[in-house]
């Protein structure tokens, strides 16, 4: 049976891993960083966690190297062992198969896929969705890991202009996504409420999450429309994405929706 993910998903932004251009910490220090963030998230009352190799810029457009998968698996396993919360995996920029492999190995509940269907222009070039491969790989693994798929994802532009409603409908009906994520234009930028409303109308019974720009001042309004939120930057010290999570910020956001 699929485990309920809940309404508030806290982002675990992994510092640059060994082999990445901006790597400064050894792997033990990276694991400690992530576990401290997870502890603050858990103590503050989030419903789930989402692990992402945020520090690995510039990102590979597709498949990541084997060492990245190994490091993410090791971190994910430590998070699952330490915290009784649903866990998601996102392997940036768009390696859905690696995310599924990691999630299956660590018994995570879901993955995030930035471009699941269609095509987008990004700083990694032209990226195309591979839902046909991702869904078949999930079946081959015998996995029930859920696929949370972005629509009109941040840090990208469309190849051709299409309506949000049409994109959501195809993401669900033809891409077989288990949940839809709507974001602003970049990390930390607010998700437009009108976009959330349009996505909800198009998604039917499929959950819709706001994936960026959620903070203590707007979270209640967002959750009047969306089924859940994914929050990272607003929970960090000074509201800076690369900083550690602060327990007080987590508690303040969670209390804002109680």
Domain boundaries, the chain: 8-257
Is the confidence at residue 188, as pLDDT, over 90? no
Q: Class for domain 8-257, per CATH?
A: alpha beta
Is the confidence at residue 127, as pLDDT, over 80? yes
Burial class (CB in 10 A: 0-12, 13-18, 19+), 119: middle
Q: Who wins on pLDDT, 174 or 258? A: 174
Q: What is the pLDDT of residues 130-177, one digit of tens each?
A: 999 999 999 999 999 999 999 988 788 888 888 899 999 999 999 999
Average the pLDDT over 10-17 and give the result.
98
Helix (H) or strand (E) holding 257: helix 247-257
Q: Would you say 72 and 80 are in contact if contact means Cβ atoms under 8 Å apart?
A: no
Is the confidence at residue 258, as pLDDT, over 60? yes
Helix (H) or strand (E) holding 180: strand 179-182
Residue 2 is predicted with a pLDDT of 67
Burial class (CB in 10 A: 0-12, 13-18, 19+), 63: middle
Structure tokens at 210: 């706001």
Is the confidence at residue 202, as pLDDT, over 90? yes
The sign of the CA dihedral 73, 79, 85, 88 is negative
Q: Would you say 86 and 4 are in contact if contact means Cβ atoms under 8 Å apart?
A: yes
Secondary structure class of 194 (helix, strand, coil): helix
Residue 185 is predicted with a pLDDT of 73
Q: What is the pLDDT of residues 14-63, one digit of tens each?
A: 999 999 999 999 999 999 999 999 999 999 999 999 999 999 999 999 99
Average the pLDDT over 176-205 and give the result.
91
- Looking at beta carbons, which pairs linking 204-210 to residues 24 or more positions away fall under 8 Å? 204/172, 206/172, 206/177, 206/178, 206/179, 206/180, 207/5, 207/178, 207/179, 207/180, 208/179, 208/180, 208/181, 208/182, 209/9, 209/148, 209/179, 209/180, 209/181, 209/182, 210/181, 210/182, 210/183
């Amino acid at each position: 049976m699929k485990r309920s993910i809940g309404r508030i998903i806290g982002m675990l932004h992994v510092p640059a891993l060994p082999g990445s251009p901006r790597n400064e910490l050894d792997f033990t220090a990276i694991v400690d960083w992530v576990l401290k963030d997870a502890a603050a998230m858990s103590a503050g009352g989030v419903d789930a966690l989402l692990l992402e190799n945020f520090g690995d810029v510039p990102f590979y457009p597709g498949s990541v190297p084997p060492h990245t998968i190994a490091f993410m698996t090791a971190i994910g396993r430590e998070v699952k062992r330490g915290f009784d919360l649903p866990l998601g995996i996102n392997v940036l920029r768009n390696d859905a198969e690696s995310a599924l492999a990691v999630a299956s190995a660590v018994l995570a509940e879901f993955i995030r896929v930035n471009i699941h269907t269609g095509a987008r222009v990004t700083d990694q070039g032209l990226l195309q969705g591979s839902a046909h491969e991702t869904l078949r790989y999930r079946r081959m693994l015998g996995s029930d890991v859920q696929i949370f798929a972005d629509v009109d994802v941040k840090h990208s532009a469309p190849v051709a202009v299409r309506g949000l409603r049409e994109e959501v409908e195809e993401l669900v009906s033809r891409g077989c996504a288990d949940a839809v994520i709507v974001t602003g234009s970049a990390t930390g930028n607010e998700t437009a409420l009108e976009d959330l409303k349009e996505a909800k109308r198009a998604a039917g019974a499929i959950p819709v999450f706001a994936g960026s720009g959620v903070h203590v001042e707007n979270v209640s309004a967002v959750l009047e429309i969306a089924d859940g939120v994914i929050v990272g930057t607003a929970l960090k010290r000074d509201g800076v994405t690369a900083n550690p999570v602060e327990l007080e910020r987590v508690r303040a956001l969670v209390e804002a929706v109680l």
